[in-house]
Amino acid sequence: MRLRFRKPYIPIASYIVTMATTIQISGDLLAHLQKMKMFPKESYENLIWDLIEDRMELSEETKRNIAESEADIKAGRVYTHEEVKKRLGF
Kindly give the confidence (pLDDT) of every residue in the chain, 90 residues in length, as a single tens digit, with 9 standing for 90 and above: 455 555 555 555 666 667 788 889 999 999 999 999 999 999 999 999 999 988 899 999 999 999 999 999 999 999 999 999 999 999
Which pLDDT belongs to residue 77?
Answer: 94
Q: How far is CA 79 from the centre of its chain?
A: 30
Indicate the pTM of the whole model: 0.49
Phi/psi of residue 53, each to 5°? -55, -40
Which pLDDT belongs to residue 16?
Answer: 64
**Residue extents of the structural domains in the chain:** 31-88
Which pLDDT belongs to residue 21?
Answer: 84
